[in-house]
Structure 1
Amino acid sequence: MRSAKYSGAGAAAEVVSVIDTEIPSPGPGEVLVRVGAAGLNPVDVKIRAAAVDFGPIIYTDLPGWDVAGVVSDVGPGVDEWAEGDRVFALAAFPAAAHTLAEYAVVAAGDLAASPSTWSTAQAGAAPLAALTAWQALETAGVRSGQRVLVLGGAGGVGHLAIQLAAARGAEVVATASPAKHELLRSWGASETVDYRDEAALAAIAPVDAVIITVDDTLPPRGAVAAGTSVVTITGLTDERRAELASWGAGPVERILVSANGGQLAEIAALAESEAVTVHLDSEFGLDELAAAQERVESGRVTGKVVVVVDPRV
């Protein structure tokens, strides 16, 4: 089979290649998936550029975590999946998963049935970002009737956080450049703000929760009241954490997404009811992986970048 490979740390055009390797076999509790599509995320390009582990995130020269496709074979003890099932998953994260290939072995518990309302490309693009958004909202305790501020509402995690928060009955405020405000509203944001407009940012009324998807960024002071939950997916410096604490925010937490087939199934159910969709910024073939990673690194992505490994799946 064909599989993506990194030759070491460096620029995508210099270290990304496609090699031929053996089709893996599923072990106990595992499923072999014929890959249709695999999403790319900022963590993919960061770990490729450095070729080192990032805390619990394991570096591998055979990349990929997101996956959507069709079950090709099942290992011993797997009863919930059968050949031909259409599935998607965040595989093994933060351990290596090797999903940027024509076939990938995935733990049965990481899988969920792909929504019929999504294309294979959308399903492949969704898992890491959708689960990050879901788990961020869970950590913040977001519920119906609350106000939620999503910083970076047009990104991969941000655009899904808007939709998932709205599906919970929350009122969503989201930031992005003005050209993307119509999209934010289509995803369920009731209030949109230009992230560069200091006056507009200062005018945001207090919210119950803040989801930060942008590196080392603080919410506007006026949006934070005593007890406002703040969840970041990128991390905050000690100085920024102290500043938030001085405003009365709490708790302030950073999360690292984890694979969870059950949560993906809940997201898929929302997709079936058309409450959640995946906006595809761009699609690339496996041989175009370097260009796909460069697109992610551009910082101009709206929604998700996906690699279509096999358009027939």
Structure 2
Amino acid sequence: MDDTTMWAVRMHAFGDPEVLVRERVPRPVPGPGEVLVRVHAAGVNPPDWYARRNFPTIPAELRPRLTLPLIPGSDISGTVAALGPSPDGSPEGATASPARPAWQVGDRVHGLVNFPGRASGYAEYAVAPAGHLARLPDALDHLAGAALPMAGLTAHQYLARLRPAPGSTALVVGAAGGVGHLAVQLLRAGGVRVVAVASGRHEPFLRGLGVDRFVDYTATRVEDAVRDVDLLLDTVGGPDAHRLLPALRPGGRVAPVFLGDYRPERAAELGLAVEDRPWQVRSSGADLAALDTLAASGAVRVAVAEVFPLAEAAAAHRRAEQGHLQGKLVLRIAG
């Protein structure tokens, strides 16, 4: 083996998990303002398997244009292996700014990198813009470091936009999942009362995260059991999402993380506001650093559901598509 190649999982065609193949590929080289990261762990996220299937639920004219072969993955945790030149052409590592921290070789880092855009995380090495990375706290290992970025930033950035008031009540659907379990904790940290919806086996986990009330959707119709909530944070969506509308008070807000049919006419009749403006989580080392402070203090706990070796990325995707996860799936790559 030489230092110009690496192991990576690539897809040469769109389709089922079996299109994910582990193979030797050229090692990337960091460009101006970029960092080469030796990846210890990579998170597995819904956009990874949506891309693997070429986004079949998105109309063809709106789909992102993907070039094959493709290395999936946007969540990484690892160590700085090399620095590209500064954008102004000065020697590598010489220029520091909020957008380009002064990283050093050996620093422990993690981040949601190059998102939305090109992916490259399922590999031994990945290149990232310096500003997409945050320093990994000593309190977190690389598995937690890879599990946090996309799910945590989705919850953090969306809630920052929604600004739920302390003392209000939020109904979180899919509360045990990647985004859900982190949103629950961020809401509680902000003084919001949380009603968590998940299957019954997740109740002890969610009680441990401090939810005020738990509803087992497999045993109880949520729309019959819950009333007068201020905010619906729905991480599930889908064609039946509108069934949850009666749980909100007049003037309440519906905040979908994924697409769902909320019957706008019915929502309007009930006096509800549906957040329908286009929104997308974005890479931000600064936002991730704020989350890291909470994670390092113990105020936010990152749950890792299962860990797979890089060579078993296809198995990780099969598990992901079964759903009903408690936290995040992670690929272990090194260390």
Same fold per superposition (TM over 0.5): yes
Paired with 2:272 and 2:291, the residues of 1 have a C-alpha distance of: 29
Change beyond 3 A, Cα 1:11–1:272 = same
Equivalent in the alignment of 1:18: 22
Question: Matched residue of 1:220: which SS?
Answer: helix
Paired with 1:53 and 1:37, the residues of 2 have a C-alpha distance of: 29
- Give the C-alpha shift of residue 159 in structure 1: 0.7
Paired with 1:289 and 1:276, the residues of 2 have a C-alpha distance of: 27
Equivalent in the alignment of 1:280: 304
- Matched pairs, number: 309
Partner amino acid for 2:255?
Answer: V
Note if 1:220 corresponds to 2:221.
no
- Give the C-alpha shift of residue 102 in structure 1: 0.4
Note if 1:249 corresponds to 2:272.
yes
C-alpha distance after superposition, 1:137-188 (max 9, x if no partner): 1222123222111110011111111011111121111100111111111112
Note if 1:265 corresponds to 2:289.
yes
Note if 1:35 corresponds to 2:39.
yes
- Give the C-alpha shift of residue 222 in structure 1: 3.6
Equivalent in 46, 63, 66 of residue 59 of structure 1:
66
C-alpha distance after superposition, 1:27-85 (max 9, x if no partner): 11111110011110122112102377954755352111010111111122243211111
Give the TM-score, by structure 2 length. Answer: 0.87
Give the TM-score, by structure 1 length. Answer: 0.92
RMSD: 1.9
- Which is worse superposed, 82-91 or 69-78? 69-78
Question: Matched residue of 2:79: which SS?
Answer: strand
Equivalent in the alignment of 1:235: 259
Equivalent in 93, 118, 132 of residue 110 of structure 1:
132
Note if 1:159 corresponds to 2:181.
yes
Partner amino acid for 1:91?
Answer: V
| Larger radius of gyration between Structure 1 and Structure 2 | 2
Question: Matched residue of 1:181: which SS?
Answer: helix
Equivalent in the alignment of 2:81: 72
Equivalent in the alignment of 2:3: none
Paired with 2:104 and 2:65, the residues of 1 have a C-alpha distance of: 29
Question: Matched residue of 2:273: which SS?
Answer: coil
Q: Which runs of 5+ in 2 are unaligned?
A: 1-5, 87-92, 97-101
Partner amino acid for 2:160?
Answer: E
Partner amino acid for 2:14?
Answer: A
Change beyond 3 A, Cα 1:235–1:51 = closer
C-alpha distance after superposition, 1:275-306 (max 9, x if no partner): 11111110001100000110101113221100
Note if 1:127 corresponds to 2:132.
no
Question: Matched residue of 2:157: which SS?
Answer: helix
The answer to whether the Cα contact below 8 Å between 1:193 and 1:201 also exists between their aligned partners in 2 is: no
